[in-house]
Amino acid sequence: MKREPFVAAREARWIRLEDLLAQLRSVRRNAAPKDVAELPAAYRRVCQDLALARRRMYGRELTERLNRLALAGREQLYRLPARFAQRAIDFIAAEFPRKVREEARLFWLATAAFLVPALAVAAIALTRPDLLYALVDAEQLHEAERMYDPANGGVTELRDAGGNVKMFAFYIYNNVGIDFRTFAGGFLFGVGSLAVLVFNGIHLGAIVGHFLHIGYETTLLPFVVGHSSLELTAMLIAGVAGLRLGSALLAPGRRSRGRAMVEVAPHCLQLLVGAGGMTALAAFIEGFWSAQPLPDSVKYAVGAVLWSAVATYFVFAGRRRAA
């Protein structure tokens, strides 16, 4: 068959498909034009036309036009269904804790990478306070001291309602951003993620140890006891996401490193999205609850509830409907 009759016999069909695709692109998701049922067949026929045109060498202009049409058809045919709410509920209720349990070993590794330096530095701060300044920036430590000084009334006195919103925004910007960076650091064979965990451990150990030493714990602990449950756990999970990516690079098994990474990436992303959500929730608590001027006993009680809720969630949620 010559090129001209080939085109003449199909031109009308191609134009019809082009129209349909243009309509599909312009409408919102879910609101499909009525002849959308024609799409799969029309797309397959264009694929066939393209294969023929290539094989018979009908020229670049025609093959490029058909290639374009086939790609556009593919874009519409394979676009994702939007069932966002259901997927979000499933994720929170079952998928996320399950994913975390799947990575129990990496979770404990991340916990060790964080807690061991934290405890070591806290011990140094309590026993050899002079050595502490070799480990952390003195200026930062003094800054923290000013903020938590019981003589200033602690954190609560410094905030009004606008201050709460501002701090909430800051915690979102800073802490959730750190989660994402911790994950990205995992690409450097996991080293970046580990480093973030270790540095955070050193920093936290220094503050807590130093404050215990100078007797500021009465302002620090009631403030952090609530949100720390979510914030620290989320940081560890972000670390797990990064370590999982790094371990795919370190030990890809019987796949290429690139392939191993692409295969593990969705799993890491789910861990990271969960961690980001938890950190955002922690930011909300830190912004609007932790600095409320309430008796310490209330703060500790709420903190205990939050910590046990987090633990219960990760130990038990999503076990029944095992996939």
Give, as ranges, the residues between 43 and 82 that touch another protein (CB under 8 A): 43-44, 47-48, 50-51, 54, 57-62, 64, 67-68, 70-72, 74-75, 78-80
What sign for the dihedral angle of Cα 11, 12, 15, 20? negative
Q: Which of 314, 319, 320 is nearest to 103 (CA)?
A: 314
The first and second tokens of residue 180, run together, are: 């994402």
Beta carbon of residue 97, minimum distance to another protein (angstroms, whole number): 20
By CB under 8 A, tell whether 169 contacts another protein: yes
- Using the contact rule CB under 8 A, the part of the chain among 41-49, 123-131, 150-158, 212-220 near another protein is 41-49
Cβ atoms < 10 Å from Cβ of 61: 9
Give, as ranges, the residues between 89 and 128 that touch another protein (CB under 8 A): none
x-or-dash pattern for another protein, window 247-286, by CB under 8 A? -----------x--xx--xx--x--xx-------------
Q: Which of 303, 260, 244, 201 is nearest to 100 (CA)?
A: 244
Q: How many residues belong to the chain?
A: 323
Local structure of 16: helix, strand or coil: helix
- Do residues 156 and 291 touch, judged by C-beta distance below 8 A? yes
| Close Cβ partners of 16 (under 8 Å, ≥ 6 residues apart) | 38, 42
Q: Which is nearer to another protein, 114 or 183 (CB)?
A: 183
Q: Which is nearer to another protein, 107 or 183 (CB)?
A: 183
The first and second tokens of residue 298, run together, are: 């209330």
Q: Which of 245, 306, 307 is nearest to 270 (CA)?
A: 245
Q: Which is nearer to another protein, 50 or 113 (CB)?
A: 50
**Which residues form the interface with another protein (CB under 8 A)?**
3, 25, 43-44, 47-48, 50-51, 54, 57-62, 64, 67-68, 70-72, 74-75, 78-80, 160, 162-163, 165-166, 168-170, 172-173, 176-177, 180-181, 183-185, 187-188, 192, 245, 258, 261-262, 265-266, 269, 272-273
